[in-house]
Chain A
Amino acid sequence: MLWYRFWLETRARFLTSLATVTIFCGVFVYHAEGLLRPQWKSGFNRLLFINQQFLVIMWILACVLLGMGGIVREKAVGTSSLTLSLPVRRATVLGVRVGVGLAEAIVLGVVPWLTVFVISAWAGMPISITQVGSYIVLLTGGGLVYFATAVLVSSLVVGEYTAPAVAFGVVLLSVLVFDNWLPRFNAWRLVTGDFSIDRKTFLLGKHLPWPGILASLAVAALMVLASMLVVERREF
């Protein structure tokens, strides 16, 4: 019943984030409809692009929050003795936690964009489902590395409030560092679509940056693996 346990643990965080993000996107796009004339096609696409920028910020914030938890945090809160006395491997506990967080992160990316799709269609400005799909793939495929960062931080840093603070700090720092010195490897720009957007039509290109996405997912997987090793060896 580990899945159920982690669902109960993250339920509030997840539903609040989902509501916030979805409502924001919905309202944003809905109002955008009112400001535009039908012929400003590229203008509307630009607004979708801007929506992605906001969504990315909120999504990454939410993912960091969802990535918090784990046995190290339990030590600060006082429940680690219970989890550690269960006949389950520590790696399994982490794995299930990551699985639940992963599912939640994906839903957090899909639902807002589907809402945008539905509202646009209902308001008479339909957008192609391919665009929506592309944005979703960029968000979840490229952005899960931030979720993994949060998981890794949560297994290294003790403290109920210290861990999220450090996680946010690391994310911010990494974005700044990459943007300044390694702009081509900046996952943030990948996720927001910066690398794939056509500046004239503001449509995402036919070819998504698959190497970048796969690399990002690989790094995320490595981070989760590292977290497992840390938790296995740690003393509680």
Chain B
Amino acid sequence: MFYKLTPTTGQPLYLQLMQQVRHAAETGALRDGDQLPGIRTLAEELVVSPNTVAKAYGELEHEGLLELRQGLGAFVCVKRRTRSLANDVNLARRRIRDLIEQLREDGLLDAEIRRAFEAELLYAAEAVRKR
């Protein structure tokens, strides 16, 4: 499992980690019963605070995606429900691919497209948080 946490995107690292673990479970990179690295091991590997990893694992356990077994580690629990999410993601990616093609035809540069996406995502996240 390869994770990439970016400190400068305005999103807390633990949220990024959670998203990436979820994504991995949805796309099948992580399967039901797989063991995730221990908090200390992952923290050292990613060079982030152990509190970040602990918080991510804790939240994921709260969501039901992870099972933290005392002394043994964190184990993935993928339910059938999330399988369909993988399909949703694939569908979404196709839609995004089409949209990007269109925006390019409209004359937008890739950098402009990326900034627009980031701005909209951030704004959307604000709106969700406010609610």
Touch between A and B in complex, CB under 8 Å? no
A-binding residues in B (CB < 8 A): none
